[in-house]
Amino acid sequence: MAHILSPVYLVGAGPGDPDLLTVKAYRLFREADVVVYDKLVSPAIMDLIPPGTTRIFAGKQARNHHMPQEDINELLVDLAMTGRKILRLKGGDPFVFGRGAEESLHLAKHGVPFEIVPGITSSTGCTAYAGIPLTHRHLAHSVRFVTGHTKDTDGLKLKWESLADPDTTLVIYMGLINIREITEQLMAHGLDAETPAAAINHGTRPEQRVLSTTLKCLAEDISTAQITGATLLVIGQVVGLADQLAWFPKAAIPDAQAK
């Protein structure tokens, strides 16, 4: 009789605040035998994993991979074959710039069942905690989610003309490394240099920092503020509402005014 494998659970941990975890994610924390987790999973969320659960760090950040993606894919298959309950814990949502599709496709290729547990992606979680609505009927009719880091070594291959839309909120993941190229290309393709822009650092966490500025000043202000680590970039007219809508204690203090 063939051994029936239990599914590998690809779970979104959200942007950092443990209160934003789904009920299903929290239940799986209590049931998992092994947790394979990313760098972007906050310490507060890791603290919810019961003592005795095996933890395997598979953290990645731009240009610094603790474990290559191919090795992570193979690890999940190997762990599944042990018969234990495996939880793959990813920051944000597994299917929003989280490589969850690559991992689930690899599991499917090897006949390993899996389940996807959505998480709150940073584009919605971090902007909400910064008081920035992604859409507003008078300011933004659409929102675009874009990666600011690709495999290309000779610049970002993005459709800049379509991104430089004054009626759209632009949310950029992993954009710190290429921030100067991003801002210069958007301005070169017609987006007003005075467009409101923000950098949300460690959004939804106690250490959250929000820098509010303009498109033309964004790269320089980020450098001056020495912002590093998990940061979401938001560009669009809705950023101008942050002063009125900031409700989270750390979100009301832009770095540029905190000196």
CB 207 within 8 A of CB 250: yes
**Rounded-to-integer distance, Cα 137 and Cα 5, Å:** 48
**Rounded-to-integer distance, Cα 68 and Cα 46, Å:** 22
Please state the rounded mean pLDDT for residues 99-105.
95
Nearest to 149 by CA among 115, 176, 124, 189: 176
What does the pLDDT look like over 107-129, one tens digit per residue? Answer: 999 999 999 999 999 999 999 99
Cβ neighbours of residue 102 closer than 8 Å, sequence gap 6 or more: 69, 73
pLDDT band at 258 (very low <50, low <70, confident <90, very high): very low
What does the pLDDT look like over 154-211, one tens digit per residue? Answer: 678 899 999 999 999 999 999 999 999 999 999 999 999 999 999 999 999 999 999 9
pLDDT at 3: 59
* β-sheet with 142-147: strand ranges across: 142-147, 168-173, 231-235, 196-201, 209-214
38 among known catalytic residues:
yes
CB 87 within 8 A of CB 34: yes
**Rounded-to-integer distance, Cα 235 and Cα 221, Å:** 14
Asked if the model's pLDDT at residue 80 lies above 90, the reply is yes
Task: Tell me which of 17, 38, 93, 165 is the catalytic residue.
Answer: 38
**What is the SS3 assignment for 86?**
strand
What does the pLDDT look like over 195-251, one tens digit per residue? Answer: 999 999 999 999 999 999 999 999 999 999 999 999 999 999 999 999 999 999 866
∠ Cα 67 9 100 (to 5°): 50
Please state the rounded mean pLDDT for residues 16-23.
97
216 among known catalytic residues:
no
Please state the rounded mean pLDDT for residues 82-88.
96
CB 103 within 8 A of CB 72: yes
Q: Which two tokens stand for residue 229?
A: 């680590």
- One-letter amino acid for residue 240 of the chain: G
pLDDT at 1: 37
Please state the rounded mean pLDDT for residues 142-155.
80
pLDDT at 5: 79
DSSP character string of 193-231: TT-EEEEEESTTSTT-EEEEEEGGGHHHHHHHHT--SSE
Asked if the model's pLDDT at residue 65 lies above 70, the reply is no
pLDDT at 24: 98
Task: Calculate the average pLDDT of the chain.
Answer: 91
CB 4 within 8 A of CB 103: no
Q: Which phi and psi (to 5°) does residue 120 adopt?
A: -75, 120
Task: Tell me which of 17, 24, 47, 60 is the catalytic residue.
Answer: 60
The two beta strands, 60-61 and 64-65, are antiparallel
**Rounded-to-integer distance, Cα 90 and Cα 40, Å:** 7
- What are the structural domains of the chain? 8-117 (3.40.1010.10), 122-257 (3.30.950.10)
Please state the rounded mean pLDDT for residues 47-66.
81
